[in-house]
Amino acid sequence: MEDEDKDKDEDSKNNKEEKIDIDTIKKIYKAGYSAVKEAASYVKPGVKLLDVAERIEHNIIEQGYNCAFPINLSINEEAAHYTPSFQDEKIFNEKDVIKVDFGIEEFGIMSDCAVTVDLSGDHADLVDASKEAIDAALSIIKSGVEVGKIGQEIENTIKKRNLAPIKNLGGHGLGIHDLHAGPFIPNFNNKDDTKLEEGTIIAIEPFVTNGKSGIVIEGDTCEIYQLEAEAIVRSQNARKIMSAIINRYKNEPFAVRWLANELDSKFGLYSSISEIFRTGALNAYPVLLEQSKGLVAQTEVNVLVGTDSCELLTK
């Protein structure tokens, strides 16, 4: 009986691996890009961030995918990692610049792309600089190119508009159940001579700011966590939340609000997360803020590195 169970597990693993071919990969990335574009279409003045988040995350699950991470709806000087809290009442305002950053997951393959929505219509320079930096990077990406040189192309393009790249954020490789695999792709020339390898899937994501620092710092708000290790916690509520995290979010980041159905109170939910975090069981992803409070725009695409060029997967 034990051998039969082992054979079944092995067959299930093999069937799953068979599905991970290039056509499946392209299908997942295409669906991920469509989800980001759909989410961006919901961003309008007066709309609750929570409504947008719940709608797009629900739609993805209905389509048979998982969320690679909670949708990021980062506004103005927030560069990344703002996702609505449980019972969040925050709305979009008509002067906001919003980064819509989201990804989907299937078979461990994860998309990760972003667009910027400028509700004011006053910051086309920021948005366009980020898009142009993508085009500049794509023009040189191929096997053997040094990542520092990609950063140089991004930086040069952004500076032509008298704007600045965010220097401590950048692109990254995308692995199986690994959203931020190597190599790191800088948004400036950091002199890194690491060479891209054929067949690698990478995210290129220029962050552009009109701020003076070009650096992000961690804010006080944190709604996104990821399981690092299992831990023993004391309170009954924390044990319940820990069990739910292990069962439902063992591999990918999660939003605190995704666990709201486990407990009756908001206080109980957040105090449980705090208790678990203090044990070292969770990695936290606090909101990242441009240090000088400059506005930030972001565009992010995913590409497959080829011998002489690259293929855009998020299209």
Residue type, 111: S
Q: What are phi and psi of 245, to 5 degrees?
A: -65, -45
Residues with catalytic roles: 101, 112, 172, 180, 205, 300
End-to-end CA distance of the chain, in Å?
48
- Quick check: 250 and 229 in contact, CB under 8 A? no
Sheet containing 78-80: give its strands across.
Answer: 78-80, 288-290, 216-218
Check whether the bond before 84 is cis (ω within 30° of 0): no
Q: Which residues pair with 106 in a beta bridge?
A: 109
Q: Are 163 and 176 in contact (CB under 8 A)?
A: no
Separate counts of helices (H) and strands (E) for the chain: 7, 18
d(CA 2, CA 302): 42
Contacts of 203 (CB under 8 A, 6+ apart): 112, 113, 171, 172, 173, 174, 185, 300, 301, 302
Cβ 204 vs Cβ 150: under 8 Å: yes
Question: How far is Cα 32 from Cα 256, in angstroms, rounded to an integer?
Answer: 22
